[in-house]
Structure formats: structure tokens, C-alpha cells
């Protein structure tokens, strides 16, 4: 028995070592591209041309960031995108909660049929042209609401939140009924406080979706003063490429400066959203796991 236990313990330790090493290698594979982009954004043109840049900047150079952050419209677009993301996330979460809570109640008749229609939208879409025509006809072009209303509810996030609400013990709700609590009171005083992990997780999902969104902005926004950050950075990169082409410089240096500006743009848009993660990291795993307990 003692020898068998030792063999089991040795096997478990070996498994833990292999698992740890595998996660380290996988983490490095995921982090390497980001570190490489970070290094390119701070490296000199000579180092980039010679291919010496890997995980650490070579010949520190801040010119790319000066071109990106120094653009007159960058600061305006940055704060506009922060405001846009906050408004979008708040509205999307309110809509998701108002839709998910009734669908989580067994008393709601026809909820399975409603869920079938919601799931249907995950597989079939009207397309870019019909969506553009609708946005144009309701007068949302060049408006902040063009980036909010068409995508303010995610079917995937709705399903996760509905599953989380369904996992809450019905006895808690029944006890609240006996105490004279209304449906709205149960939602506000019982369900939402117990659903903080799910709400925090889905809020992050919505915020990242809007922060990184650029496709809808390209179609719906043509006023430069209303460009979100991603679209403004796209404009900066295009202007940089045009200016480099007009300048009397070699082709290789044109490509190098354009790549450096692209790298700086990626870092400028990634770092702000990364700063949000530490505040909701403790809810992230818990929210996803508990939200999948029941269907």
C-alpha cells in the first residue's frame, strides 16, 4: 500500500510538472506577439530594418508614439471612445438583464420559443447592406447611436446571463415572495447582488466589443470629429503611409515607419483596455463557470 501511494504521488507530481510546463509554453506563445509589437513600437528604424527586434526594443525611439499620440484628433477620439464604451456597456447590460431575467423564469410561457428565435440570430444575419440601409433610414448615420443601438444586445451574452439567473436557487425567490417582495424587488435585491460575477464578466465582454469595434464605424461614421479610437488610428496609419510615399525616402524606410506606427497604434489601443482586467479578474472565471451550470 505504501509503495502504491508513493507511485500515485510520483505520478501526480509528474503530471503537475508537465501541466505547468505546458501552460508556461502556451503563455509564452500567446505573449510573444504582443511583446514583439511592443518592441517594434519603441525601436529605431535601423534595428527594425536589420531584423534585430524580438522581445526587447533596440535603439529606443519614441517617434512612432509622437506621430500617433501627437495627432490633433487622437486625444479627442480617445475620450470619446471611453465615453462611448461606457454608455454602450451600461445600455447593453440593462437590456441583457431585462431580457435574461424573464427568460430564466419557468413561469414564462413560450420562453423556449423565444429562445429559439434568439439563437436563430446567432447563425443567420441580414448582411451588411440591409443593416446599413436600416441605420440610414432611421437617421442614425454619423451618430453615436449608430454604434450602440444595432449591437446593444448579444445573443451569446444573453444566453450566459440567462443560465446564471437560472442557477440561482428558486427557494430564495419563493422566500422573498412570502415576504411580500415583488418581481422587480427580487431582481434588484436578490438576483443582481448574487449575479455580480456574471454581470462583471459580461460587462467586460461588451466593453471589449465596443472598444475594439471598427467595422460598423467604417460604414456608419464619416464625420472625422466622431471617429472612435480604432477608426482614428486607422486614419493616422493611412496618413502616415501617404506622407511616407510622398516623401523622398527609400521604399524600405517607408515600410519600416509604417510598421512602427502600426505597432504603436496597437499598443495605444490595447493597454487601456488591459488596465480594466485587474479590477474584474476575480469575477471572470467565477462568472463564466457559474453561468454554465444550467441551460
Give per-residue pLDDT as tens, 242-274: 666 655 555 555 556 667 877 888 888 888 888
Given a cut of 70, is residue 283 above it in pLDDT? no
pLDDT of residue 295: 42
Classify residue 20 as exposed, middle or buried by CB count within 10 Å of its CB (0-12, 13-18, 19+). exposed
Given a cut of 70, is residue 61 above it in pLDDT? yes
Nearest Cα to Cα of residue 211 among 97, 99, 13, 79: 79
Least confident of 57-66, 142-151, 153-162, 217-226: 57-66
Q: DSSP class of residue 200?
A: H
d(CA 274, CA 280): 11
pLDDT of residue 293: 44
Mean pLDDT, the chain, whole residue set = 81
Nearest Cα to Cα of residue 44 among 268, 266, 260: 260
pLDDT of residue 286: 57
Q: What is the mean pLDDT of residues 223-246?
A: 78
Given a cut of 90, is residue 94 above it in pLDDT? yes
pLDDT band (50, 70, 90) for residue 294: very low
d(CA 82, CA 229): 9
pLDDT of residue 256: 64
Contact criterion met (CB below 8 Å) for 279 and 203? no
pLDDT digits 0-9 by tens, 67-86: 788 777 888 888 999 999 99
Q: What percent of the chain shows pLDDT beyond 90?
A: 19
Q: CA 190, 88, 72: angle at the middle one, nearest 5?
A: 145
Q: What is the mean pLDDT of residues 101-116?
A: 89
Higher pLDDT among residues 155 and 260, named by residue: 155
Amino acid at each position: 500500500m505504501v509503495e502504491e501511494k508513493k507511485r500515485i504521488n510520483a505520478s501526480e507530481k509528474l503530471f503537475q510538472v508537465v501541466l505547468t510546463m505546458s501552460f508556461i509554453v502556451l503563455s509564452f506563445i500567446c505573449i510573444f506577439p504582443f511583446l514583439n509589437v511592443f518592441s517594434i513600437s519603441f525601436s529605431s528604424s535601423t534595428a527594425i530594418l536589420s531584423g534585430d527586434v524580438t522581445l526587447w526594443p533596440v535603439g529606443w525611439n519614441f517617434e512612432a508614439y509622437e506621430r500617433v499620440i501627437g495627432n490633433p484628433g487622437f486625444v479627442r477620439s480617445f475620450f470619446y471612445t471611453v465615453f462611448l464604451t461606457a454608455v454602450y456597456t451600461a445600455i447593453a447590460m440593462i437590456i441583457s438583464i431585462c431580457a435574461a431575467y424573464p427568460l430564466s423564469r419557468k413561469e414564462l410561457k413560450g420562453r423556449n420559443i423565444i429562445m429559439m428565435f434568439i439563437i436563430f440570430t446567432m447563425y443567420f444575419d441580414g448582411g451588411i447592406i440591409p443593416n446599413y440601409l436600416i441605420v440610414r433610414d432611421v437617421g442614425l448615420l454619423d451618430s453615436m447611436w449608430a454604434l450602440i443601438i444595432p449591437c446593444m444586445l448579444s445573443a451569446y451574452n444573453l444566453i450566459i446571463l440567462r443560465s446564471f439567473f437560472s442557477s440561482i436557487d428558486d427557494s430564495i425567490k419563493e422566500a422573498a415572495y412570502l415576504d411580500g417582495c415583488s418581481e422587480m424587488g427580487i431582481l434588484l435585491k436578490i438576483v443582481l447582488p448574487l449575479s455580480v460575477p456574471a454581470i462583471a464578466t459580461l460587462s467586460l465582454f461588451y466593453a471589449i466589443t465596443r472598444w475594439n469595434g471598427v467595422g460598423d464605424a467604417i460604414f456608419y461614421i464619416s464625420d472625422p470629429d466622431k471617429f472612435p479610437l480604432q477608426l482614428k488610428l486607422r486614419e493616422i496609419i493611412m496618413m502616415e503611409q501617404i506622407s511616407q510615399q510622398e516623401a523622398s525616402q527609400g521604399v524600405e524606410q517607408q515600410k519600416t515607419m509604417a510598421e512602427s506606427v502600426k505597432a504603436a497604434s496597437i499598443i495605444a489601443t490595447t493597454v487601456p483596455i488591459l488596465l480594466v482586467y485587474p479590477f474584474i479578474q476575480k469575477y471572470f472565471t467565477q462568472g463564466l463557470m457559474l453561468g454554465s451550470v444550467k441551460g
